Structure 1
Amino acid sequence: MKEEHTIAFYNLENFFDTQDDPKKNDNDYLPNGSNHWTENRYVSKLEHITAAIASIQDNKLPIAIGVAEIENATVLKDLIYQPVFKGEYGYVHFDSPDRRGIDVALLYHQKVVEILASEKIPVRLNGNSHFATRDILYVKTKIENDIIHFFVNHWPSRGEGILASNPKRIAAANCLHQKAKAILSEDVDAKIVIMGDFNDLPISKSISKHLHAKSHKNIGTYEFYNLATIPYNKKLGSLFAKKHWLMFDQIIISKGMLNGEGIKITSPRLTIHGDKNLLYFDHQAGIYKPNRTYSYHTYHGGTSDHLPVYVALDKN
């Protein structure tokens, strides 16, 4: 690579448009809804998100950006039409059955990243036909001469309690690992990048046991290396909740991204983008926290309750 490229993931915290969609639970995010989600507030959030992405890397944008908590294609179009994207970005997105009406997507630089295939991977929970959550997004790309497989995730939350919700995240991990294993069965050196808001920690069973994402680089054929391990061990996090920093937003890679020729990732860790414009000082807690857009229907005007995470791509 002639110049350093980065890839990133960012949970955009309930990025809804202002139009009513009868098929989605978007009533809170309407002008007359409980959040009073007006066009001015929507445009403000759009501008904040754009500025946050633009601040990740000096003078250029990440070539691939996984995003979570987007309502639909409308907000993605409004985002990539912002001047900073220079008309050079596209997106991959599928509607999923999430009860909150939010999805994941992949933004990509069309002159650098070629989309070869894409599909949504439903998350099935055995014995619960009423359970619906975000699909996992799979995108097969070509970057220069390398095939790179991206998975964008937003696993079920801990809202009902960690133990009660744990089977749902394990189900997501199993679905993801099954697809990734199929790719590796055809090519043990396949280059796979798994990113997302997993609503679990690097040491959680869903990630460490079921996804087989390890804290070390000495990984087997169907295992992965978790770039969030080092920040997590340093007690860093991508969001702040219940008086703790939580490392929910992670980037995980296959052995093919660590070794061999062509594009790879040599950094042992991801970077949490704690730009000052994404934070506010909580005087009661005495620390800086992500400046979110809403909390309990109170408008704060911030960008997101999560911080972006990113990593640089290298090439031999």
Structure 2
Amino acid sequence: MRIKNLIPLFVVLFAIFGANAQAKKYIVHTVAFYNLENLFDTINGANNDEEWLPNGAQNWTSPKYKQKLHNLAKVLSEIGTTDNPNNGPTLIGGCEIENRVVLEDLVKEPLLINKDYGIVHFDSPDKRGIDVALLYQKKHFKPTSYKNIPLLIYKNQLNASAKEKNDKDDASDDKSEIDKNLDRVYTRDQLLVTGFLDGEEINIIVNHWPSRSGGEKKSSPFREAAGRLNRKIMDSIFKINPNAKIMTMGDLNDGSYNKSVKEGIGAKRKKEEVKEFGIYNPFEEMFYKGNATLFYRDAGDIFDQIMVSEAFIRKDTSSFRYWKSGIYNKPYMITTVGQYKGYPLRHGANEIGYSDHFPVYIYLIKESK
């Protein structure tokens, strides 16, 4: 293990693990998720990308694309460095990605290239052509298997109560597409990656759940189905290994308090509530403390979340454990003037921003030998 990856966490870990922790050092890894918001290239592909072409509605040119890549790379290179100053995120889940090419361009950015990120990506059936993916530092994480698991949902899954009231569309570029012949709602697959983090097996699920297009209530059954699929994936892993370490992350288009998360996944707000095969969601407590990863109509929420299985929150730190979580929202990422002051600084007519979401992250720690 390289010495630079050993971080003394004296003050905080003293409070958590007792006086003996003061003399210990810990290996630290940052795990992040970021909605990259419309990371499209300027080449006309097979997907519905006409808006993001030089002659499209966004007038999306090569200089703009390159600036977007630079902006995203700056954010990604900095996430977690407050408490892990010697390294950026080891694992990065992302969404709103057009194709593998844009990820290859992103990891070649000067601010990221020395991290030598590998890519796990599949094209999804989403009609906008946006996908989820996982980036990983090759020196620390070795994937052993990965697959995309389709979310099969249909228009007739809308329940009666949701049909009674049609909320106005949320302001989002993310619109689920419905096949009029099959009534299937085409949305993103859920990406499952299993591998070894410094020799220890972990499982990662990367998500971008169906949007709130058509209204939160009407579209809720789609995200509830996504939550159930997430839980099904976890249960299949637990059948093989009851002590499996699982992280599920993504833009869920729902808050930590919504049915899709609370009942579909069964996530808990407090560590002490988590039982065997249970899931802990640190971002629920953060939401109730007034934090947010996105804003709509002046109301903030946390749609971007990273949750961990019970094995990650045990007290023994001889293997990787969850330490703490955060939202990365530095001043340069925030709109400073106008109607959307305080919101994430996104792409506009006169400025290439970052994203309409702030990224989230957690730290994993293990006592060094």
Which of 32-41 and 216-225 deviates more? Answer: 216-225
Equivalence for 1:123:
151
TM-score between the two structures when normalised by the length of structure 2: 0.81
Cα distance in 2 for residues equivalent to 1:164 and 1:307: 26
Where 1:107 maps in the other structure, the secondary structure is: strand
In the TM superposition, what is the alpha-carbon distance from 1:87 to its structure 2 partner? 5.9
CA deviation map 1:21-68 (0-9, x unaligned): 1x2110100000000000010000000000011121245210000011
- Paired residues for 1:189-208 under 5 Å: 189-208=243-262
Which of 101-110 and 231-240 deviates more? Answer: 231-240
Decide which structure has greater helix share.
2
Q: For the pair shown, which has the larger CA radius of gyration, 1 or 2?
A: 2
Equivalence for 2:196:
142
Where 1:181 maps in the other structure, the secondary structure is: helix
Cα distance in 1 for residues equivalent to 2:309 and 2:183: 32
Equivalence for 1:133:
187
CA contact (8 A) 1:291 1:300 kept: no
1:37 maps to 2:67:
no
1:106 is matched with which residue: 131, 134, 141? 134
Unaligned runs of 5+ in 2: 8-27, 157-181
Counterpart amino acid of residue 16 in structure 1:
F
1:255 maps to 2:310:
yes
Where 2:286 maps in the other structure, the secondary structure is: helix
CA contact (8 A) 1:280 1:288 kept: yes
Where 2:323 maps in the other structure, the secondary structure is: coil
Counterpart amino acid of residue 304 in structure 1:
S
Which of 127-136 and 75-84 deviates more? Answer: 127-136
In the TM superposition, what is the alpha-carbon distance from 1:279 to its structure 2 partner? 1.0
Which of 58-67 and 40-49 deviates more? Answer: 58-67
CA contact (8 A) 1:282 1:289 kept: no
TM-score between the two structures when normalised by the length of structure 1: 0.94
Where 1:228 maps in the other structure, the secondary structure is: helix
Counterpart amino acid of residue 351 in structure 2:
H
Equivalence for 2:87:
60
**Which ranges of 4 or more aligned residues in structure 1 deviate by more than 3 Å?**
126-129, 282-285
- Root-mean-square deviation (Å): 1.5
Equivalence for 2:159:
none
In the TM superposition, what is the alpha-carbon distance from 1:293 to its structure 2 partner? 1.1
CA contact (8 A) 1:184 1:221 kept: no
Change over 3 Å in CA distance of 1:129–1:119 after alignment to 2: farther
Cα distance in 2 for residues equivalent to 1:60 and 1:280: 27
Cα distance in 2 for residues equivalent to 1:140 and 1:65: 14
CA contact (8 A) 2:152 2:184 kept: no
1:302 is matched with which residue: 353, 358, 363? 353
Cα distance in 1 for residues equivalent to 2:95 and 2:236: 25
Cα distance in 2 for residues equivalent to 1:37 and 1:105: 23
CA contact (8 A) 1:213 1:226 kept: yes
In the TM superposition, what is the alpha-carbon distance from 1:114 to its structure 2 partner? 0.5
Where 2:256 maps in the other structure, the secondary structure is: coil
1:51 is matched with which residue: 68, 74, 77? 74
Decide which structure has greater strand share.
1
In the TM superposition, what is the alpha-carbon distance from 1:220 to its structure 2 partner? 2.3
- Paired residues for 1:122-271 under 5 Å: 122-125=150-153, 129-217=183-271, 218-259=273-314, 260=316, 261-267=318-324, 270-271=325-326
2:334 is matched with which residue: 279, 283, 290? 279
Where 1:99 maps in the other structure, the secondary structure is: coil
Cα distance in 2 for residues equivalent to 1:11 and 1:247: 12
% identical aligned pairs: 37
CA contact (8 A) 1:55 1:275 kept: no
In the TM superposition, what is the alpha-carbon distance from 1:266 to its structure 2 partner? 2.7
Unaligned runs of 5+ in 1: none
CA deviation map 1:207-253 (0-9, x unaligned): 00111111111212332000101210112110111111110000100
Where 1:41 maps in the other structure, the secondary structure is: helix
Where 1:142 maps in the other structure, the secondary structure is: strand
